[in-house]
Structure formats: C-alpha cells, structure tokens
Amino acid sequence: MNDSDQARLTRPRPVRESISEMAEIVMPNDANPLNALVGGRLMHWIDLAGAMAAHRHSRQRVVTASIDHMDFLVPVRVGDLVILRSSVNRVFHTSMEVGVKVWVENYRSEQNQHVSSAYLTFVAIDEAGNRLPVPLVIPETDDEKRRYEDAGRRREIRRSESARRKQVRS
C-alpha cells in the first residue's frame, strides 16, 4: 500500500458516508409458531446492518466485538417488511460504535413501528486478524453530535462493566 492509499484509508469521514439501510421481508422460515419473527433472526440482521456501516466507514474487514442490551418493542409478523438503518456513532482508534435502528413496515395497514435499537462495537482487522486503526468520524448534524457524545458515555459504562466482570471472575 502506498502513501496515498494509506492517507485515503485514514482520512476522517463524516457519519453520512457510513449510513446504511437494508430491508427484509419476514418469511415463514424466519418466524416462530405464533408467526412472529424469531429474535435471533432479528439479531442476525442487526449484526449485518451494523457491519455494513462499519465497513463503509473503515473500508476494512470488521468483526463484531460486542452488542449492547436489546429490547424487542413490538412483534413483527410474517409478511411484514423490516427496515434496518445503521451508521457509525463514534470511533475509538481500532474500534467503532455503530447504532442500528429497526422499524417494521406493515404495508397492508400502512403503519411503521419502532421494533428495536442496538449499539454494536466493531473492530477493524487485517487478513491475519490484527487490529487496524479506524479513521475518525465527523458528526455534522445535531443528532449525530448527540449520538457521538452518548457513544462516549456508553463506552465508559462498557469498560466499567467489563472491569467488574473480570473482578468477579478472579
């Protein structure tokens, strides 16, 4: 990799360059016996949507390091359209927090409902699995700036919780 390639990969990027959206129609094989979307399938889709934003921002391979608490707010039924929107909230050297918001669109009733939100941490890696630096993210809108600041607070909570778990294990 030459110097211009390296400069291109490490230049700070605005949040808008990471914004990703994916859509899935809930099929019978995605559902439980009550015709509701299985939570694990939604978690898988959230991971994919988050990875899309992390890839777009870092322009590197990424792996999921963690996912924060997740609630399922409303049921999603077979035939519903699930919309997942993601973007990078903040970068921490080799890792980045990505927010994913999930909506269900019932095109029969023309209603959209918030299903879930999640915060995931991704780490950029090379072919050998070594961590790589991630370009800084530039929040531009008031909402992006709020999410940027909130991500810093969530990181501190994750770190203190991780330290507490290590202490309990020892």
Tell me what pLDDT residue 4 has: 59
Task: Return the ∠ at Cα 88 (arms to 83 and 92), rounded to 5°.
Answer: 150
Residues of the chain with pLDDT under 50: none
| Burial classification of residue 46, based on how many CB atoms lie within 10 Å of its CB (0-12 exposed, 13-18 middle, 19 or more buried) | buried
Tell me what pLDDT residue 5 has: 58
Q: In order of start, what are the domains of the chain with their CATH numbers?
A: 3-169 (3.10.129.10)
In angstroms, the CA 65 to CA 27 distance is: 29
In angstroms, the CA 86 to CA 103 distance is: 12
Q: Are 132 and 124 in contact (CB under 8 A)?
A: yes
Tell me what pLDDT residue 124 has: 97
Tell me what pLDDT residue 61 has: 97
| Burial classification of residue 53, based on how many CB atoms lie within 10 Å of its CB (0-12 exposed, 13-18 middle, 19 or more buried) | buried
For residue range 140-152, list pLDDT tens digits in order: 999 999 999 999 9
Tell me what pLDDT residue 2 has: 60
Tell me what pLDDT residue 8 has: 61
Q: What is the pTM of this model?
A: 0.90
Q: How many CA atoms lie within 13 A of 39 on its CB side?
A: 8
Q: What residues are paired with 104 via a beta bridge?
A: 82, 113
Neighbours of 91 (CB within 10 A): 23
